[in-house]
Amino acid sequence: MSFSGWLEIPVESAFLKKGPLKLARKTFSVPEKAPQSIGWLSLEKKVFGEGFGGNLFFRKGSPNRSSQKPEKENTEQVYLSLGSNAGDRRHNIEGALKELAHTEGVGVKAVSMLYLAAPVDMPDGTEPFLNCVAEISCTLDPLALLDRLEAIEQKMGRAGKGQNAPRTIDLDILLFGGRTIGSARLTIPHPRMERRRFALEPLAEIAPDVIHPVLGVAVSRLLEKVRDQEVASTGERPALPLSINHV
């Protein structure tokens, strides 16, 4: 049985030197250009049976948050839902996060665990969705962000917006700061988020106290109303892009 995920431990620069590093009685290679400062050492691990191996990456910050630059005054905190039920679902989500991280005006700040959920309003036998929520800092206006999300979806092979079609990647804006928007193309907050546990569960994981700007209720309280829906955490987190800039 295989497993992939993140193990993160606080380390000092004394541990960051060229050559092998012993960790949990296993040996890993240290990147030649590891920064000489205190922070978090991230091990992207792949486990096969009793042994595991992988690559070490360094970044500052808390385990599920990327390094952050000071934000511009016009930056909004935005929460996105990412889902996939076609192909390599985890790979698709990580690919979308990478695309976001290389978008001008966008910085990926935090990503939830991955959750499995049955597809909604799709034919029987449709593959379950793998979902997560990402917090981004954004200087784009809402429609410009929507344009970028749709471009990422198309680049990754999504053929259209048909509700009953399997989705290589599905990217939705849940919350855009405290804004409310209603137009032909975009509704913010997402018009169905308060009824969908697969959106609320990962959102509450990383932002439980965020208030729904229309309902005036914290995300954690909205989640309590949809606990009967079947959603299961995988216990794994998608790899957070390490090259974060643009904001």
Reported confidence tier of residue 63, pLDDT bands at 50, 70, 90: very low
Residue 245 in domain: no
Residue 70 in domain: no
Domain of residue 200, residue span: 76-233
Q: Is residue 53 pLDDT above 60, yes or no?
A: no
Same domain, yes or no: 216 and 129: yes
Same domain, yes or no: 166 and 220: yes
Residue 241 in domain: no
Q: Is residue 92 pLDDT above 70, yes or no?
A: yes
- In percent, how much of the chain has pLDDT > 90? 57
Cα Rg of the chain (Å, integer):
19
pLDDT at 118: 87
Residue 99 in domain: yes
Same domain, yes or no: 11 and 132: no
Among 59, 158, 196, 237, which one carries the catalytic annotation?
A: 158
Residue 41 in domain: yes
Active site annotation includes 148: no
pLDDT at 165: 72
Same domain, yes or no: 55 and 80: no
Residue 65 in domain: no
Burial of 44 (0-12, 13-18, 19+ CB in 10 A): middle
3-7, 32-36, 109-113: range with lowest mean pLDDT: 3-7
CATH number at residue 103: 3.30.70.560
Classify residue 136 as left (phi > 0), alpha (psi -120 to 50) or beta.
beta
Residue 67 in domain: no
Active site annotation includes 141: no
Same domain, yes or no: 167 and 90: yes
Residue 66 in domain: no
Same domain, yes or no: 53 and 112: no
Same domain, yes or no: 121 and 211: yes
Same domain, yes or no: 150 and 38: no
Same domain, yes or no: 175 and 221: yes
**DSSP assignment string, 106-135:** EEEEEE---EEEPPSS--TTPPPEEEEEEE
Active site annotation includes 25: no
Among 148, 170, 196, 197, which one carries the catalytic annotation?
A: 170
Reported confidence tier of residue 120, pLDDT bands at 50, 70, 90: confident
Same domain, yes or no: 213 and 174: yes
Rounded to the nearest integer, the mean pLDDT of the chain is: 75
Same domain, yes or no: 86 and 24: no
From 59, 85, 100, the end of a domain falls on: 59
Once rounded to an integer, what is the mean pLDDT over residues 47-70? 39
Tokens of 161: 């917006």
Among 90, 141, 172, 179, which one carries the catalytic annotation?
A: 172
Active site annotation includes 170: yes
Distance (Å, whole) CA 219 – CA 201: 9
Its pTM stands at: 0.71
pLDDT at 124: 67
Counting the structural domains of the chain, the total is 2
Classify residue 49 as left (phi > 0), alpha (psi -120 to 50) or beta.
left
Same domain, yes or no: 21 and 121: no
Among 89, 148, 167, 237, which one carries the catalytic annotation?
A: 167
